[in-house]
Amino acid sequence: MKTQPTSLRVRLPAFLFVTEVTFVALYAAFVTYDEHTDARFQTNQTNPMQNAVYKDYPFFADIQVMIFLGFGCLLAFFRLYGFGGMVFNFLTATFAIQWAILVQGYFQFNHDGKIHLGVINLINAEFACAVVLISFGAVLGKTSPLQLLIMALLEVPVFAVTEWVVLKYLKINDAGGSILIHLFACYFGLGVTFVLYRPRLNEGHAKENTSYQSDILSVMGTLFLWVFWPSFNSALTLKGDDQHRAILHTFIGLSASTLTAFALSAMLNKNGKLTMADVQNVTLAGGVTVGASVDMMISPAAAYVLGMMGGTACMLGYKYLSPFLAQRFRIQDQCGIHNLHGLTGLISCTAGICAILMADEEVYGPSLYEIFTHRAPVEGDPKLHELQMLIPDLQPGLGRTAREQALFQVAAVFSTIGLSALGGVLTGFALRLPYFASPCDDCCFDDEPFFEVPPDYDSPLKLSDTVAIEDSAA
């Protein structure tokens, strides 16, 4: 019988109860309502449509589906680790969102010593949660629930600080989160799995496989993510034409990566058959590759090309790069997050930089300075007054040129990768502490050490073993 150390019976509840009490105290001391939520700022004469909930809640609801259903089902592809993939996703996501509201609130929504809470905070917190769940994919099946919670506890502050530094000091454009979500999550997760390297797993693991049912469940997760990804990419863009373009570009990019995934899956398979892992992951690559330029005037054709490039890079990464990293660099990337989020994120950032270099008033008109706010003229510049006659709400910018803005984008890419990888390595060393009840090698990719499982939970494996024995006897 495979059992998890009995200490987890005490340590997991103790950690959760202590953090809950701490969260209650912090929420009571520092969290209040924002102006769209506080009854003191609302009257019966207030137009309900002016409340942020009507603009932001539909996007929040869509991202909720991605976080809890999309990621949950997608991570349930191991046939003996379905409970772990879905339920630990549920647990980690809920914890990460609660924690991110506080940590991000301190940096972004802090006024007069209070965190002002509204739907927009929840959207930002769910982006931080997405970062944690992407990183979770690198160590899927190899960590205890307590390790995952500690990972979220440490990753959210590192992410919030990186986000604050990049946005406040480098002042970049990253509407779809290619830099601050996908690249950060990828290299943080790779840093963790590098430290948690298990040599025996490179030799193959008896439970590191899928079943017919688990693959179907995982594809359902892919479909949830695919359908709602336009909301993810457009949630924090400017309302109006920017958001409209973001939705269109995301859909086109996803469509292109999907067709590319099916074509390459059949072409690269010796038998000419489709591989479910390709359908589950490569089809989503286009949503990442359009992210950095998703709200820009890149043209629908460019969005399509980016989707094809993302699908190709992701497919080749799964087939050739992931085994190489595991064998040569001690990076056991369980879900291939480097392919779906790292390689595609780099393509996206490159495309975003090119789009910034080519952006000018001839293409964008005066709205150039709304999309690229840091290129707006500085206070006192006569041109700023001219632009404000056309756009009354336009704020003074930094007067950056296209080239200067592109260089800051490059600096943000390298800064994010460096900070995330360092944070991941340090987090990995913390997770190696025996107190956090890491599962043994034989217990990896198995629900039984952590859950009350039904008697037939491993019946597909037993059936396979029986067939193998009968064939060998024949």
> Would you list the domain boundaries of the chain?
8-42+50-440
pTM equals 0.93
**Alpha carbon of 156 to those of 99, 104, 185, 440: distances in Å?**
7, 8, 10, 27
Query: Taking 80 as the threshold, does the pLDDT of residue 307 lie above it?
Result: yes
Main-chain phi, psi angles of 457, to 5 degrees: -60, -30
Provide the Cα torsion 449, 453, 456, 457; round to 10°.
Answer: -60
Short-list 102, 87, 15, 197, CA closest to 451: 87
3-state SS class at 404:
helix
How does residue 66 score in pLDDT terms, banded at 50, 70 and 90? very high
User: Which residues face 32 on adjacent strands?
Assistant: 116
Question: Which segments within 11-51 are labelled E, that is strand?
Answer: 31-33
Query: Taking 70 as the threshold, does the pLDDT of residue 461 lie above it?
Result: no
How does residue 42 score in pLDDT terms, banded at 50, 70 and 90? confident
Rounded to whole angstroms, the maximal C-alpha distance in the chain is: 89
* DSSP assignment letter at 166: I
Query: Taking 80 as the threshold, does the pLDDT of residue 419 lie above it?
Result: yes
Q: Find where tokens 């373009």 sit.
A: 245
H or E, element range at 16: helix 8-30
Residue 343 one-letter amino acid: L
* DSSP assignment letter at 238: P
What rounded mean pLDDT belongs to the chain? Answer: 92
Give the number of residues written for the chain: 474
The answer to whether 253 and 303 are in contact (CB under 8 A) is yes
How far apart are the C-alpha atoms of 293 and 19, rounded to whole Å? 38
CA angle 234, 238, 244 (to 5 degrees): 55
How far apart are the C-alpha atoms of 104 and 100, rounded to whole Å? 5
pLDDT value for 8: 80
User: Which residues face 116 on adjacent strands?
Assistant: 32
Annotation: CATH topology of 8-42+50-440: Ammonium transporter fold (1.10.3430)
410-413 CB contacts, 8 Å cutoff, 24+ apart: 410/353, 411/170, 412/166, 412/170, 412/172, 412/174, 412/179, 413/179, 413/183, 413/346, 413/349
pLDDT value for 204: 81
Helix segments in 65-199, DSSP class H = 71-74, 82-108, 119-136, 145-165, 184-195
Euclidean distance between the first and the last CA atom of the chain, given in angstroms as a whole number? 31
Main-chain phi, psi angles of 272, to 5 degrees: 70, 20
The answer to whether 416 and 424 are in contact (CB under 8 A) is no
pLDDT value for 474: 40
